[in-house]
Structure formats: C-alpha cells, structure tokens
Amino acid sequence: MRLSRKNSISVFIFFILSTLLFFSCGTKAVQIQVHRPAEINLKKYAKVAMGDITNAKGRKDAHAKDVSDSITSAFFETGYFEVLDRQHLQNIIEEHNLKLSGLLDADSAPELGRIIGTSALVYGRIQTDKYDEERSSSDTWKDSKGKSHKTHYRKGVYTLAVSIKILDIETSQIVATKNLQASYKNKTRKTDGTAPKIDDNALYTSCLNRIKADLKKLIAPYKKMVEANFQTDSKLPETESALNQFKIDEWDTGVSLLEDAASKPGLEPKVQAKAYYNLGLAQMYSGQFDEAIENFKKAMILNPKEDRYVDAVKTAKKEQVMADKLEMQQRDN
C-alpha cells in the first residue's frame, strides 16, 4: 500500500532543524514527527458521556472531582468527541423526567442510552491516591575548618492510579478498561536544620497531568517524535543534499536524490547498501511501506552482516500496521 504524503490520513512529517546531529558512527540522526493511532478505537462514538469517578471507597471527593475534570478535558481537547459532562447529563435527565439515582455508571447507563443514542459512557475509580514521605540524615561530617555538621533529607513520592471503564451505552458492553498510573517524586535537604517541606500538591498535580496526557493517547490519534538515523558516507554526498531538502520540506526532491544515490554504478556493496537503506528510511516515513521494505531487503543482500537492515524491515512492517490503523480511525473524520 502506498500512502500519499499529501493525504490528510497519511503520516505527516516535518523536520526540526535544531535536532540534526552528527554521530561518530557514520549516521545522521533526524527527529521526525509522525502520527500515531489511538490504542482504543472510539471512532463510532461521536458522543461521550462522562459518568462518575469515585475514590477507592466508592465515594466522590475533591480528588475524584479533579480526576473527573481531567478525564473530561482529555476527551474534549482531542477534538474528536462531543463531550457530555455531568451538567449536560443532568439537564438531559431533568428534561426527560428520568429518575437516575446514585452514581452514573454501568447500572444506570441503559436508561440514559435510550435518550442520547449511540454514545460511550466513561466512568471509573481511583485505585491509589497517596503521598509517601521519608526522612533521613547523613552521618556527622566535618567541613574544612573541622566543624561538625549533619545533613537532613526529605524524599516524597505521590502516586495516583485510576481505573477507567468505557461502556457502549446502547449495548451495555464494556468497550475498554484501562489502568492509568503516574508517580512523581521530589527531594529536599538542609544542613544543620530540618529539610524544607515538599510540595505534595505540586506532585499530585503532575500526576493528574500525566494521567490526562496518557489518556489522550489512548482515545485519539496523536503525534510523537521518532528518530531516523540515516547512514553517511563520503561516497554518498547525495545523502547530505537529500537531508537539506527535507529540512525545507522538499520531500519529493530529497527522495529523488536518494534514488539517484542507490542507482549509482560502481559502488562497493556496503556503500550501495547504505544508499538503499537511506532510501528505504525516507520512503517508510513518507508512507511508501512496500517500496521501503523492498529497499531494506536489497540492503540486506548487499551487506548481510548489518543488523540494522533486518531491524528496518521489522520497523517498516510495524509502521505499516500503525498507518493502516490510523487510516481506519481517521476515515470520514
């Protein structure tokens, strides 16, 4: 399958100029931004209803509300869903004279589903919500003037773990269950005195933000940076020229230069293998997976002792699977 670079559902690439680095091993590393598919395919659910998040005891408290707000924001910020938060749902319940008592979860979802139609309900429970702190002191030590001292330490760790369930409201079937966990720590110290207090609320906030970021990757396509290591060789000046073209987003011109390098007559097998590998790498990250795999295999034949060519074939196959999954998730969106 060949995906056009200009197609909105294909892998999108741009190069960060400041991240081009030379390495002594004869490669040039380029940071590339690519699209990745969501782990959970929620494409069929245009609406997402936010149910209740409870604490470990099954109750709603301030932290449960914080987690609920973070989850709501995660869905909203993806831009893929119409998010029905608790207030929206309450309005719907009152408008249709529904009598939903207690928590909004799997038990109460079917009645709500008859009103709002095809949608997903998100609810869950905080499994872990704790701050642990340790205090310790060093052995007595002496400074350059012979004066004795002791250093005192604090080490704090905040851990937050949330179990999330996503339910198809119409069928009452669980679509996905995910456990999201984050842990952040900090240390303070002071000589001859009590170590400063650690801001555990800041650690808690960091945990909330991490869970929110991880959830966004689970429920919607996202972007990430990957590193592509092109092989350099004095007999392949086209590689440098091609990468310069990539820097100004002239992708087709760059690939053409790498094609010229791979077809140059008289190259030593190991050098030509590098040319085919570089061409395959550029093709892989432009969505030309079949062509990339073919050129990686040519590199393997020319230099069978180079493990990176074998790894490149495996990577290209994985990239193709992810690109197909991404296309399915983004189709008609």
State the pLDDT at residue 100.
Answer: 55
- Taking the C-alpha atoms of residue 333 and residue 74, their distance in angstroms, rounded to an integer, is 18
User: pLDDT digit string (tens) for 81-120?
Assistant: 999 877 777 777 666 666 555 556 666 666 666 677 678 9
State the pLDDT at residue 333.
Answer: 52
One-letter identity of residue 165? K
State the pLDDT at residue 116.
Answer: 73
Q: Where are the alpha helices (DSSP H) in the chain?
A: 62-78, 86-95, 109-116, 200-219, 237-247, 251-262, 269-284, 289-302, 307-330
Q: What is the mean pLDDT of each run of 10 residues along the chain (333 residues)?
A: 38 39 63 90 88 88 95 94 80 65 62 73 95 97 95 98 93 91 98 97 98 96 92 94 88 93 94 97 95 98 96 97 91 59
State the pLDDT at residue 30.
Answer: 84
Task: Output the six-digit token pair for 226.
Answer: 């990957």
State the pLDDT at residue 303.
Answer: 97
State the pLDDT at residue 18.
Answer: 35
Using an 8 Å Cβ cutoff, are 162 and 145 in contact?
Answer: no
State the pLDDT at residue 96.
Answer: 64
State the pLDDT at residue 251.
Answer: 85
